[in-house]
Amino acid sequence: MSTGLRWLGFVVGGVMLSAGVHAAEPAWTPNDWTKEETVKLCTNVPGEGEYCFPVWLVVINGDVYVRLGSKATERMRKNTGGFVLPIELAGHRFEHVRATETPDYVDRVNQAMADKYTGDIIIHHFSHPLTMRLRPESAAP
């Protein structure tokens, strides 16, 4: 690449950053993530800062679902962003994902977890007080 083209790229990139233009959010494609093992939920609890922790995920009817144990549920309820948080999934970071409690999906999520994860034979005996659907904040309810 010539020096002139590199310089032009540098200038254009600098102008875009100063204008507040950022890379586009990655595509939200749940059906591509059925074989993903975990999603990292990133909570920000006062006095502790951001902490990202992995949880199992399942995809049901094109939506991502997770269930949280007691400690993760507590972090979620203390999150400074409420139920909107960053997540890391399939090598991408999504900054504004809404986690919606889905008590009507508890049985379906539990069954999907049992079908997907052999370790669920033990894990399902632990308390999972919070089952949630994850969607980008801009998605319709």
Cβ-contact 133, 99 below 8 angstroms? yes
List CB contacts of 72: < 8 A, sequence separation 6 or more: 41, 53, 55, 130
Residue 100 sits at φ, ψ, to 5 deg, of -110, 125
Number of domains present in the structure of the chain: 1
Domain CATH code at residue 71: 2.30.110.10
Q: Is 3 within a domain?
A: no
pTM metric for this prediction: 0.80
Q: Is 11 within a domain?
A: no
Q: Is 49 within a domain?
A: yes
- Secondary structure (3-state) at 46: coil
Q: Is 62 within a domain?
A: yes
Q: Is 6 within a domain?
A: no
pLDDT at 14: 44
Q: Is 2 within a domain?
A: no
pLDDT at 47: 92
Print pLDDT tens along the chain (141 aa).
554 444 444 444 444 444 444 567 899 999 999 999 999 999 999 999 999 999 999 999 999 999 999 999 999 999 999 999 999 999 999 999 999 999 999 999 999 999 999 998 998 888 899 999 999 997 555
Q: Is 86 within a domain?
A: yes
Q: Is 111 within a domain?
A: yes
**Measuring CA to CA, how many Å separate 50 from each of 76, 99, 108?**
12, 17, 30
pLDDT at 135: 98
Domain region containing 109: 25-136
